[in-house]
Amino acid sequence: MEAEIDNIIESLIESDRTVFGVVVTDDSGLCLATRGDNIPEEAAGLVAAIANRSENFLSQPNAEVVYSPVAQIEAENMVVLVRRIDTVVVGIFKHRDT
């Protein structure tokens, strides 16, 4: 599984030049992998919490969720995209388009 996660992270970073970091966590926020500049492992817990909260927008919040809604957080110089995919949560850190 680790090699699969590493391949996905590398393809994300290589396919979009605005991506400067990726965090992958489990449901409880345990950091499974990070790549990029200045992405602290502590971000894993926040990314998992955001994915869990975003599922409250679903019409059936108690149903087993495979894909959560995509949460986008915009800051002055970056955008963070967060989404659950099956049993992992992915946070993608991107430079903001200017």
Where do the structural domains in the chain lie, given as residue ranges?
2-95
Task: Note the pTM of the prediction, 2 decimals.
Answer: 0.85
DSSP symbols for 29-94: --EEEEEETT--TTHHHHHHHHHHHHGGGSSSTTSPPSBPPPEEEE-SSEEEEEEEETTEEEEEEE
Note the pLDDT tens digit of each residue in 13-39: 899 999 999 999 998 999 999 998 788
Least confident of 7-16, 43-52, 53-62, 85-94: 53-62
**Confidence class of residue 57 from pLDDT cuts 50, 70 and 90?**
confident
Provide the β-strand partners of residue 85: 67, 88
Assess whether pLDDT exceeds 70 at residue 59: no
Q: How far apart are CA 23 and CA 44, in angstroms?
A: 6
CATH topology for 2-95 is: Beta-Lactamase (3.30.450)
